[in-house]
Structure 1
Amino acid sequence: MGVIKLDSPLQYVKGVGPRKAEILEKYGLVQVRDLLFYFPRQYLDRTCVTTINQLNVNHPATIIGVVKAHGLLYGKRRRYEVILEDDTGAIAILFFQGVNYWQKTFKKGQIFAATGTVKWYQGYQMVHPELERLEDDSDKMIHAGRIIPVYPQTAELNKVGLNSRGMRKISSFIFDNLKEEIQDYLPNKESKELDLLDLNQAITKIHYPDNRDEVELCRRRLAFDELLGFQYLVFKNKISKEKTFKKHKYKKPGIKLKEFKEQLLFKFTSGQKKVLNEIFEDLQSKHPMTRLLQGDVGCGKTVVAISASLYVAENKMQTAFMAPTEILAAQHYRNWSGLLEGIGIKSALLTASIKPAEKKEIGKLCSDGEIDILFGTHALIYDYVGFKKLGLVIIDEQHRFGVEQRSKLYAKGDNPDLLVMTATPIPRTLALTLYGDLDISTIEGLPPGRKKIRTAWRSEDSLEKIYQFVEDEINKNGQAYIIYPLIEKSEQLDLENVEDAFSELSKNRFKDYKVGMVHGRTKPKARDKILKDFRDGNLDILMSTTVIEVGLDNPNATVMIINHAERFGLAQLHQLRGRIGRGEKQSTLIAVSYPPVSDYASQRLQYFSDNLDGFKIAEADLEMRGPGEMFGLRQAGIPELKVVRISSDRDLMEKARSLLEKMFRLQDNLDEEYQIMYNYLTNKAEKNNPRLGGG
């Protein structure tokens, strides 16, 4: 390609071609502009490469060495070892995961840079360091004295040569030949007041910084852009909401809710009462409700949502209650349908595994207004499902649904009220930024009588003691979950899996106990029977993947063992912990880690063991993983916050919000510079639609 411009197709850039372009497109990288916004995930500081004889144990370092030997080692665990040498000594590089992949990676005589924490066991070691292959001595010199960007990597990218090194070659060629600059849309006055870099400079230098300080300056400018674009969408949705009116009106709550409460075996907590009043006020408003209901695992969100749907049913309107999994949808229906029927409220369950004839019948009954509350999964969005008068849409675990799925369900009514629920609490620092167009209700506290769940972190060499503890609990009439990260053996990941573990443990270690297994590929009928047997006490142990993460309710389960806990995020660990401690018995969770455990994973597991508060867990998870991954922003159709750091960028959030307030206030009288900014944000927003309702 001769002249490279921002909208030039990547396919024609030197080093790409049709095959690589096809793979890049899967990651949203189509034009040159896209690659410029594909930021490094971290940097290797080669300005201070250390010789092997100068390494300090338990300190991070970057070394450059030649592969002198490599091969498989067997012992307690299979591992792959590579010996790198420089002029001063040797270091062993160890891999416990992805052994098959690493076997194909190394050849004797190759030059590699390795960055990681130095350990000592019969010599210097690094476990799963960041690796970069260097072509030859000249390449070694080029990379030895600078800060090197490391790009996000996957096996698919690596396979076609789009590893970090390949991406650097392509981006370097682009920057050397790009004949067009990215125009900054921010007014000069605002850039100066906010002390932000020019956009073009920030994008160039975030890929090839001269020093660490420059990385942070670039990151802050790009973080401001992300926050401004994100909050622009929030502002627009809020304005749209204020201009929308619903056609249905509600009277005050009647007798049904009173009858419902009388049948419950518990009383509402003060937190539940407060939130329910907020929802009722919204339902009586002339504008459609758009409310997020949040709270810690087990705080009683579902009964509040059911109470809201009762109020809607009393006013001759219908409720669609959508859950992300068949397990959770079926549990909601099973838990509440009997009580609802007792007070004259008709409910039904619709999931993908129900027989076609039954689906059709449920769809017709709902269209005729014969069903007051329809529980279900994404099956609710199918065309054969209609509602005569859809008044309320409830979406459980909303971040697990795509924007299109939510929009389709919402569109089945005429501006219905919307209640979305999450058991991943939104940290207070993020709530305004992420859900500023929603009203947020938080249920504080847990129902009385619940005991604190004891949580411990142990390594795999404690498994026998852990299994003995499981036996002791079962012998005291408790039940246990044992969780695994994989369904079956994987060539890429050297991790324990539930199928092999079930085969081994059910026949040997736990042969005297009733053991069941469930995972994402278990057939619905078999799965439902296994879960029912576990709930009814006919199984002592349920071995599972994270398919049971959300909503499964068995008050008699007192133990959970999570294998390879180092592979899970904090929020997911906390969700899993919420499956126990749901009755009055003392419950215990044991997180089991397998080597290697990174410093980052150790920090995460220690924090998890020490904290039971879901809001504190959410804050910490936010810091460790970022909001995009934690709250499923990509899944929600919302632009990702790739470089924003919630803890250190709170000032940028406020500044972005303040600038937008000013822009919308002066919308009809914007000067040329501010109009450019408004047009830029509007065009960008057209590609994204974060509304949790219908659009």
Structure 2
Amino acid sequence: MNLYSGVGSIKGVGPKTLEELNKCGIFTLLDLLLYFPRDYKKISICNEIGEIKNKQEVILQGKVVNIGKDIRTKRGKVLSQVKFINKGTYFKCKWFNQPYIKNYFKINNEYTLKGKIDYFNGERMLINPKIIKNTDFISENSKEKVMPVYPLRGKIKTTTLMKLINEVLNSIKIEENLPTRIVKQNKFCSLDMAIRNIHNPLNIEMLYNAKRRLKYQELFTYSLKILMLKKYKEANNKGISFNISKELNELKSRLPYCLTNAQNKVIREILIDQKKPVAMNRLVQGDVGSGKTIVGIIALFNVVKNGYQAAFMVPTEILAKQHYNEVYNILKHFDLNIKLLSGSTSLKEKEKIKIALEKGEIDIIIGTHALIEDNVKFKKLGFIITDEQHRFGVMQRNKLFNKGENVDVLVMTATPIPRTLSLYLYGDLNVSVIDELPPGRKKVNTYYINKKEENRVYNFALKQIDEGRQVYIVCPLVEENTDLQLSSVENLYEKLKSKYFSNVNIAILHGKMNNKDKNEIMEKFKNNHIKVLISTTVIEVGINVPNATLIIIENAERFGLAQLHQLRGRVGRGSEKSYCVLIAEVKNEITKKRMKTMVNSNDGFYIAEQDLKIRGSGEIFGVRQHGEEGLILCDLIEDINILKQCSIDADELLKSDCVEDKEIIKYIMKKLDNTTKYICFN
């Protein structure tokens, strides 16, 4: 079985199931195996039904003693019943609107069932239980079963995913692809065993071993990719030598503000890089509001004035539009052709832009992922900036880099990264830091309160609105998650609209909306037509609304410190005093410490260091943000110690003369060409 085959090749996957799997980002068999559970739940394995407490979820065996006739209830539902016996105790199973279920049972046959026990009129029963066919995990010593909980989208069900994953795993054996010495040295389970137990753990210990192995697998491959990129660039590091344009002085004099010392220092570092005949590869880190964009614009301007084209890639359409307006306004006196290319650009306009780019008629192009499409070609690309670069995987950054010859690369981020982490994360980059905020940038007053005191916060929000200001409200999830008991955007909207904002224009914004609707809502919020925006973390990056003076973050304990700081950066952008209120369930000292860190500091670099220290304790905070750096299982802050070890091991592997090691490098690199994911095999 070829893991790069489409999921449609699995028996039983029809067009509808295929469509639903695609909605989850599952296109190949490899995608399916790498679609890991978001959580796990423990279910008791019970030998005797008499021992089970009411409402307890269990797995138990029973022999069929009677198959009842279907009954139609007063509400019109069809009720099917089967009676079982377990160790001398009778119990019933009931299913609603599943009349076909009776066909799965035969009198005197034994079955294994999973469901929740209910006591009704002295009778024990299971409502809508599932039949478990594979009972290998049940032995005399088994006390519980660890069940996977998958992230679900559309109509796809956990049972469907489990069935398809088991079908693929039953037909393959995953080969080992790490050096033997690394597997032995770390006492890792095999890769095959790890993949089987991440989806269907035999017990908690096996799940721990599987996660440990796969996290290493992912970060080792990631480290190898970064180091090979660095090695390649060192070996092929011819670049364009750009002159320092005399018009830079005129550009600086036209700016409506003075640059900070930190901005000037970083601009000097970039210009020195540009002058060298080697390709620049630099990361600019700057806290929220530190003025990275103008630094990037000056760098773009110098390249264009040397007769080359420049590209500016950002992760979202809203941010692309914002940057386009800023670049255009600052450079409009210099007779440059500046264009915007994104998903919502009309097909006719896209074609015009692509033709003009290839002819060299466009000087600066600003856009989203649309820039890395294969049919986007440049005549003379000399410089690339990627903003919020942690949102683009190494592969995506490389794809844009390969559209030119020996181009200079500048990557920017407003997510402050601790120095200890950036050494391993960006081993292929030189790092510049803008560690000073422009004068006049106001501190955002931050408070944390308990859920019980939310009345105070929302009454304060109404006061801000009465004064003509606007408010962000952030919650972690789009849909209700009963396990985490978090407010969803929809539920929060209904609650707040009826309780506090009945006469206020409020709206919802989340990642599952299409770009057109997202952009429309953001434009209305920007233009003050919407007063309150209830959103997920989709607002985390780059949205600039100076009139927004308050951000309320629900379930703040569920976010990492760095993310809370990023969200706080949405306010404090105008001349008015701004506030951030964290509504949190403070149940332990660690959560309390994190909330206090936010209250006491507005310094992103200090907060990032604290995040590293606190998360380093092994406590897992926040809902995992999948997709950062293309990682599936790892969190680069939580797993920094694994990352450090992987970086050392990957470096040793690259320097090794051993034949097995050289073959492994070739093998992993070949597989990385087929996928954007770092856990790759077979």
Q: Secondary structure at the match of 1:151?
A: strand
**1:228 is aligned to 2:226:** no
SS at match of 1:162: helix
Residue 147 of structure 2: aligned partner: 150
Please tell me whether residue 237 in structure 1 is matched to residue 229 in structure 2. Answer: yes
Q: Is the 8 A contact 1:244 1:287 kept in 2?
A: no
Q: Which residue of 2 aligns with 1:283?
A: 274
For residues 484 and 199 of structure 1, the distance between their equivalents in structure 2, rounded to whole angstroms, comes to 37
For 1:658, the equivalent position in structure 2 comes to 648
Q: Distance in 1 between matches of 2:273 and 2:623?
A: 29
Contact 2:565 2:598 in 1 (8 A): no
**Alpha carbons of 1:606 and 1:103: their partners in 2 closer, same or farther (altered >3 Å)?**
farther
8 Å Cα contact 2:220-2:650 kept in structure 1: yes
* Contact 1:296–1:424, Cα closer than 8 Å, also in 2: yes
Conserved? CA contact 2:553–2:581, under 8 Å: yes
Match of 2:548 in 1: 557
- Equivalents in 2 of 1:632, 1:355: separation in Å? 28
Amino acid at match of 1:395: T
Residue of 501, 510, 533 corresponding to 1:543: 533
Distance in 1 (alpha carbons) for counterparts of 2:195 and 2:367? 45
Aligned counterpart, 2:252? 261
1:43–1:147 CA contact under 8 A, matched in 2: no
* Displacement after TM superposition at 1:283 (Å): 1.9
Verify the 8 A CA contact 2:240 2:276 in the aligned structure 1.
no
Asked if 1:44 is matched to 2:45, the reply is no
Partner of 2:179: 186
Hey, what does 1:533 align to over in structure 2? Answer: 527
In structure 2, give the amino acid aligned to 1:44: K
**Residue correspondences, number:** 606
Indicate the percent of aligned positions where both proteins have the same amino acid: 31
- Whether contact under 8 Å (1:246, 1:416) holds in the other structure is no
Report the equivalent of 1:420: 411
The change in CA–CA distance for 1:347 and 1:614 in structure 2 (over 3 A counts) is same
Which residue of 2 is the match for residue 495 of structure 1? 488
Q: Work out whether residues 285 and 413 of structure 2, in 8 Å CA contact, stay in contact via their aligned partners in 1.
A: yes
Deviations 1:424-483 (A, max 9, x none): 334444434433223333322433443332333456664543332123334555443345
In the alignment, what sits opposite 1:439?
430
SS in 2 for 1:234: helix
Alpha-carbon contact 1:350-1:377 (below 8 Å) kept: yes
**1:233 positional shift:** 1.5
For residue 250 of structure 1, report the CA deviation from its aligned partner. Answer: 0.8
> Could you say if the C-alpha distance between residues 161 and 408 of structure 1 is closer, same or farther in structure 2, counting changes exceeding 3 Å?
closer
Secondary structure in 2 aligned to 1:391?
strand
1:674 aligns with 2:661: yes
Partner of 2:240: 248
- CA separation in 2, counterparts of 1:273 and 1:557? 29
Q: Name 2:77's counterpart in structure 1.
A: none
> Where do residues 178-217 of structure 1 align in structure 2 (5 Å cutoff)?
182-183=175-176, 185-188=178-181, 190-194=182-186, 196=188, 216-217=208-209
Match of 1:272 in 2: 263
1:467 match: 458
Between the aligned partners of 2:166 and 2:343, the Cα distance in structure 1 is 47
The one-letter code matched in structure 1 to 2:147 is: V
Q: Distance in 2 between matches of 1:343 and 1:581?
A: 32
- Over 3 Å counting, the alpha-carbon distance change for 1:317 and 1:141 in structure 2 is closer
Please give the alpha-carbon distance, in whole angstroms, between the structure 1 residues aligned to 2:194 and 2:518.
51
Q: Mapping of 1:61-210 within 5 angstroms? A: 64=58, 112=115, 145-146=142-143, 148-155=145-152, 160=157, 162=159, 174=170, 182-183=175-176, 185-188=178-181, 190-194=182-186, 196=188
CA contact (8 A) 2:506 2:531 kept: yes
Asked whether the equivalents of residues 39 and 207 of structure 1 are also in contact (C-alpha less than 8 Å), the reply is yes
Secondary structure at 2:221 match in 1: helix
For the residues of structure 2 that align with 1:644 and 1:682, how far apart are their CA atoms? 22
Instruction: Mark the runs of 5 or more structure 1 residues left unpaired by the alignment.
Output: 56-60, 67-86, 88-101, 115-130
Once residues 132 and 643 of structure 1 are traced to their aligned partners in structure 2, the CA distance between those partners, rounded to angstroms, is 34
Note the C-alpha offset of 1:147.
5.5
Q: Structure 1 residues 300, 134: CA separation in 2 closer, same or farther (over 3 Å shift)?
A: farther
Shift of 1:308: 0.9
Structure 2 residues without counterparts, runs of 5 or longer: 61-86, 88-95, 102-111, 118-127
Deviations 1:493-526 (A, max 9, x none): 97343996599479x8464x77787775555895
Residues 9 and 231 (structure 1), Cα distance of their counterparts in 2 relative to 1, 3 Å cut:
same
Q: Which amino acid aligns with 1:259?
A: E
SS at match of 2:250: helix
- Tell me the CA shift for residue 145 of structure 1: 3.0
- How far apart, in 1, do the equivalents of 2:564 and 2:321 lie? 23
TM-score normalised by the chain length of structure 1: 0.68
Q: Decide whether aligned partners of structure 1 residues 287 and 472 sit closer, same or farther in structure 2, where only a CA change above 3 A counts.
A: same
Say if 1:462 and 1:496 are closer, same or farther in 2 by CA, change over 3 A.
farther
Distance 2:398 2:52 in 1: 59
Shift of 1:391: 1.3
Change (3 A) 1:525 1:570: closer
How far does residue 689 in structure 1 lie from its aligned partner after superposition? 5.9
1:122 aligns to what? none
Q: Is the 8 A contact 1:147 1:209 kept in 2?
A: no
- The whole-number CA distance in structure 2 between the counterparts of 1:464 and 1:628 is 26
- Look up the SS of the partner of 2:159 in the other structure: coil
| Matched position secondary structure for 2:307 | coil
